[in-house]
């Protein structure tokens, strides 16, 4: 009676190839996430939406912080809720190659009425551009949503 020995497991060459393949994939993955510039327009859009909603909530509550000022300097975007109050809330995010286009000029101050709608009564398109482009609409009724304003 003869017993055959079955070898199971991986050879050294197979293990080395798996380690090399994992290393290559890790280097490629790190390259994708090493810079924030691809995400900056999206982050700025989300920060703008948050600041806008905060100013609207203040307006609905009868709080004097019912205004939002949007500024763009060489390094940052700055969103200030309640700019004329004693305690303004300031949100800043690095531009990282991103720019903001608005109707008119910056800085732009938006005031909200007691219903939470912009006092201008018109839709406002804001576009963040960089490696990618994101649009935000502030509708005449106060809704903030991603994309261009609908007529």
Does some domain include residue 14? no
Q: How far, CA to CA in Å, does 124 sit from each of 12, 17, 59, 143? A: 63, 55, 18, 11
Residue 22 domain-assigned (yes or no): no
Q: Round to whole Å and give the CA distance between 132 and 63.
A: 36
Confidence of residue 39 (pLDDT cuts 50, 70, 90): low
CATH of the domain at 123: 3.55.40.10
The number of domains in the chain is 1
Could you write out the DSSP letters of every residue in 58-125? HHHTT-S--EEEEEE-SSEEEEEESTTSSS-EEEEEE-TT-EEE-SS-SSEEEEB-TTSSBTT-S-EE
Average pLDDT over residues 132-137: 89
- Classify residue 89: in a domain, yes or no: yes
Q: With respect to residue 134, please indicate whether it lies within any of the assigned structural domains.
A: yes
- pLDDT tens per residue, range 60-84: 888 888 999 999 999 999 999 999 8
pLDDT tops 60 at residue 5: no
95 within some domain? yes
Which has the minimum average pLDDT: 8-17, 46-55, 71-80?
A: 8-17
Question: CA–CA separation, 49 vs 143, rounded Å?
Answer: 10
In a domain, residue 7? The reply is no
Lowest mean per-residue pLDDT among 4-13, 45-54, 109-118 = 4-13
Q: Give me the domain span that covers residue 129.
A: 40-146
* Window from 42-46, 81-85, 91-95 with minimum mean pLDDT: 42-46
For residue 71, being part of any structural domain is answered with yes
- Over range 106-112, report the average pLDDT: 92
Note the pLDDT of residue 78. 93
Q: Is residue 122 part of a domain?
A: yes
Q: How confident is the model at residue 109 (pLDDT cuts 50, 70, 90)?
A: very high
pLDDT value at position 9? Answer: 74
pLDDT greater than 80 at residue 31: no
What pLDDT is stored for residue 41 in this prediction?
Answer: 80
């Amino acid at each position: 009676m003869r017993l055959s020995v079955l070898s199971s497991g991986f050879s050294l060459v197979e293990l080395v190839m798996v380690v090399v393949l994992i290393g290559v994939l890790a280097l490629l993955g790190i390259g994708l996430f090493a810079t924030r510039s691809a995400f900056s327009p999206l982050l700025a859009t989300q920060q703008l939406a948050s600041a806008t909603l905060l100013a609207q909530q203040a307006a609905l509550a009868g709080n004097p912080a019912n205004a939002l000022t949007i500024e763009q300097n060489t390094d940052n975007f700055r969103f200030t809720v309640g700019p004329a109050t004693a305690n303004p809330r300031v949100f800043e995010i690095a531009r990282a190659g991103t720019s903001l286009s608005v109707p008119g000029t910056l800085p732009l101050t938006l005031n909200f009425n007691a219903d939470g709608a912009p006092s201008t009564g018109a839709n406002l398109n804001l576009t963040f551009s960089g490696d990618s482009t994101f649009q935000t609409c502030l509708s005449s009724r106060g809704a903030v949503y991603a994309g261009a304003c609908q007529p």
